[in-house]
Amino acid sequence: MSGATKGKLALYWAASCGGCEIAVLAINEKILDVAALFDIVFWPVAVDGKVRDVEKMPDGSIDVCLFNGAIRTSEQEYMAQLLRRKSKVLVAFGACSHEGGIPGLANANNRRQIFETAYHDTPSTDNINHVEPQPKTEVPEGTLHLPVFYDTVRTLDQTVPVDYYLPGCPPEADRIWDAITAIVERKLPPPGSVIGAETTVCQECPRVRNEKKVKKFYRTWEIIPDSETCLLEQGLLCAGLATRAGCGAKCPQVNSPCIGCYGPNVGVHDAGARLMTALASVIDSNDPAEIDRIIRDGIPDPVGSFYRFGLAASHLRRSKRGNGKAAEAEQAGLGVH
Amino acid sequence: MSESDFKPKVVAFLCNWCSYTASDLAGTARIKYSPHARIIRVMCSGRVDPTFVLKAFAMGADGVLIAGCHPGDCHYIEQNYKTMRRHEMLRYFLERMGIESDRLRLVWASAAEGQYLAESIDSFVAAVQKLGPLNWSANWEENGQRAEALEEIVHEHAEAMEVAP
């Protein structure tokens, strides 16, 4: 491909850990092929570039933007809107932009509770003046701004229209390469699709499956599972049956249950609800009191267990905001230090 | 809004073989029950995926009722036991999400129990009325701060000094 017809590629991160950026490099020497096919016009983690440069680009001038991370602050939302405007194809890259990911678990709390923990309650914090980040701070030189921290983490497609999704925490290198190839060869699925497999992790898992009947759920540290039998049959809460394939079932193969990072399978909106359906079916009891005990003893954190990656994208999206003492204080206007 | 003015939206999933037939019986027997229950017929109470319940709450339902054949009487042998387990699972999950678990109720009503089903619907609607509106989507709003913050970023970028390349 000659220089004149080289495509333009942008990569950006919002509320994420940076693992997706590393995952892009996990395609190894193929990154050179990417560099041969695309000019990287914006990639803050690897290439010098300014937001101002992106603002000056004509709309739709970036061919592909791989956007990882959830939307947690006003600055991230601004960048999502900016890159949407400038890009022909916007890809939600990785679990966080796809369905909220680990940052989305913050939706089990609210901003007030998060600030209380982060800036006051942790044992290593010594914040005698009760300082918290403020969106605006007046200094002699003028007003300083910080992005507004939202109460609710949102996914990329709850913020701007998204063309494709590449799930995973992080996406597997092979799947990234599949996506890049599909983009270059213009063999993309219809807009709005997830680029990946259309089956569940169980299909890729080599473990032997029998009839599932579970009397007790165990946490991973409580038992050493045998390496042949299905982990769910052994009482470990494995999300494989409600999770899209594409990872090669890497976790179950090393005795670790699937945690659901690839998100819901095709046609499913709410992976956690599907996981509840499946887990309820395998509980071996028909007595409401015993069922209740099996569930409450074995699954101490139902929100985190069913929605480890998908809370922000789920039907309910978050817990009730007015929950807890900190929230009450905020509503009464007492929470501002 | 007083309790009696509040017209709750209650979604009721009734199984084809027992509870929906019970509601038919209530109809032919001219037994009155609350008009606030929106009845959806499903083939089995076991067909009620937790997705349906969560989607109903997210879309504005104030309560969800699931009704099926009595344990042991399921047309599909044992699917209503799965309903029973899903119901426990959902109640536990809803509690943790800050939704009163009493907004979800499971009732067993056979085809002959038209009167009982009508009473169950009435008592559930009354219980939801007492709990008040859920109005779940109001939880997602950012109190107007969001639009203001975004506007400020645009303004700030427009004002920023040009840096020589």
Q: What is the ipTM of this complex?
A: 0.91
Instruction: Give the SS3 label for residue A277.
Output: helix
Task: Please report which confidence band the pLDDT of residue B1 belongs to, taking 50, 70 and 90 as the band edges.
Answer: low
Contacts of A151 in chain B (CB under 8 A): 142-143
Low-confidence ranges of chain A (pLDDT < 70): 1-4, 323-337
**Model pLDDT for residues B95-115, shown as the tens digit of each residue:** 999 999 999 999 999 999 999
Q: Shortest CA distance to A326 belongs to which of A102, A132, A76?
A: A132
Contact A311, A270 (CB under 8 A): no
Contact between chains at B150 and A77 (C-beta distance less than 8 A): yes
> Is residue A199 within 8 angstroms of chain B, CB to CB?
no
Q: Where are the alpha helices (DSSP H) in A17-171?
A: 19-25, 30-37, 51-56, 74-86, 95-99, 101-104, 111-116
Name the A residues in 146-175 with CB < 8 Å from any B CB: 147-148, 150-152
* pLDDT score at A236: 96
> Is residue A55 within 8 angstroms of chain B, CB to CB?
yes
Contact between chains at A320 and B139 (C-beta distance less than 8 A): yes
For chains A and B, what is the number of CB pairs under 8 angstroms? 122
Q: Which of A305-309, B139-143, B148-152 has the lowest mean pLDDT?
A: B139-143
> Is residue A143 within 8 angstroms of chain B, CB to CB?
no
- Domain boundaries defined on chain B: 10-161
Contacts of B81 in chain A (CB under 8 A): 286
Instruction: Give the SS3 label for residue B106.
Output: strand
Contact between chains at B51 and A270 (C-beta distance less than 8 A): yes
Instruction: Give the SS3 label for residue A60.
Output: coil
Residue from A53, A315, A317 whose CB has the most chain B CBs within 10 Å, to mutate: A315
**Model pLDDT for residues A68-112, shown as the tens digit of each residue:** 999 999 999 999 999 999 999 999 999 999 999 999 999 999 899
Average pLDDT, chain B: 93
Contacts of A319 in chain B (CB under 8 A): 96-98
Cα separations in angstroms, A7 against A35, A64, A87: 10, 8, 11
* pLDDT score at A334: 42
Residue of B nearest to A135 (CA): B149
Q: How many CA atoms within 13 Å lie on the side-chain side of B5?
A: 2
* pLDDT score at A335: 39
C-alpha span between B61 and B59 (Å, rounded): 6
Contact A148, A74 (CB under 8 A): yes
Strand partners, A208: A229
* pLDDT score at A184: 86
Q: Classify domain B10-161 by CATH number.
A: 3.40.50
Q: Shortest CA distance to B68 belongs to which of B104, B42, B89, B37?
A: B42
Which among B49, B71, B99 is the nearest to A320, CB-wise?
A: B99
Residue B162 CA, chain-centre distance (Å), reads 55
**Model pLDDT for residues B4-25, shown as the tens digit of each residue:** 689 999 999 999 999 999 999 9
Contact between chains at B139 and A145 (C-beta distance less than 8 A): no
Which pair of structure tokens corresponds to residue A145?
């701004």
